[in-house]
Amino acid sequence: MMDILLLFAWPFAALLVITAIHAYLGLHVVQREVIFVDLSLAQIAALGASIAVLAGLDLHGIGAYLCSLGFTLIGAAFFAFTRSDKSEVPQEAIIGIVYAVSAAAAIMIMDRLPEGAEHLKHIMVGNLLAVTPADVIKMTALYAVVGLLHWYWRASLLLISSDPEKARREGYNLRLWDFIFYGTFGLIVTVSVPIVGVLLVFSYLIVPGVAAVLFFDSLRPRLFFAWGLGALVSVIGMAVSFWLDSPTGATIVCTFGAVLGLLAASRSLLSRRAIKI
């Protein structure tokens, strides 16, 4: 039994590492109302990788990684530049357009590639059970660096996410700080998406954040709640996947949906009772 549990130790460790950073970033994303920005940045990164392959670089080599990172940073700069409270166009629309165009461009490029189309497809899908110890170590190191940056600049980063007007009045360079946010965010997403896939990354980012906002008003309790929820769903999801023998990533995403549904229902019951009293 022990050796069977050990088989799932690394995938589980990967989920915990992902929970730690994504649940936190998710609070920013929910507050900024840029829900699909992770999908968009991941797609831009995949586009960068496919251009690298078209140029003759090895998909798993450092050149392709740098190309993909470069594209992500360009995307981050673009999102930082287009955030404006006065504009008629919601930023979510721009994010959606960037997603669609970069996905379509990647399809056009893949069509020109003699090989590697299958691998590129896998950039977006990921495979949680096949995660390697090296993957987990790499993720942990990178996420720790980003986490430290966010902790060091926490006051500024939180202010520009929650109250950009106030930040502007206090003399912050909004575009620069937005770029730092989207840049670090893109760095995280480009690493997590190939490992666990777009669906899981999206769920870990958004669901804990949304659930936390339902129950708590300030950052600290929200963050702890989001972490706890992410870890709990990881455990339940892996157990259910094991029990039903269903694809693990998809099972965890559905578990997230079910748990969020239960939480929302219990919250509405609770608040109704509070009104009666």
Partner 1 sequence: MKSLLLGSSLLIASSPVFAGLRIVTTTEDLAALAREVGGKHVKVESIAKGYQDPHFVDAKPSYLLKLKRADLFIQVGLELESSWAPNLLRSARNKKIRPGARGFLDASSGCDVLDKNADADRSQGDVHPEGNPHYWLDPANGRIIAKNIAGRLSELDPDHTQDYKANLAAFEVSLKEKIAGWDKLAQAFKGSKVVTYHNSWPNFAKRFHLNVIDFVEPKPGIPASPSHIKALLERIRREKITLIFMEPYFDEKLPKKIASDTGANLLILPPSVGAAKGIKTYSDLFDHNLNLLSDALGKKQ
- Least separation in angstroms between CB 276 and partner 1: 45
- The amino acid that residue 203 corresponds to is S
- Least separation in angstroms between CB 36 and partner 1: 23
- Least separation in angstroms between CB 127 and partner 1: 5
- Positions touching partner 1 (CB under 8 A) are 3-4, 6-8, 10-11, 107, 110-111, 114-115, 117-119, 121-122, 127-132, 238, 241-242, 245-250
Of 13 and 76, the one with the shorter C-beta distance to partner 1 is 13
Of 118 and 217, the one with the shorter C-beta distance to partner 1 is 118
Of 7 and 155, the one with the shorter C-beta distance to partner 1 is 7
Of 104 and 269, the one with the shorter C-beta distance to partner 1 is 104
Of 244 and 277, the one with the shorter C-beta distance to partner 1 is 244
- Least separation in angstroms between CB 55 and partner 1: 15
Of 72 and 234, the one with the shorter C-beta distance to partner 1 is 234
- Least separation in angstroms between CB 122 and partner 1: 6
- Least separation in angstroms between CB 94 and partner 1: 26
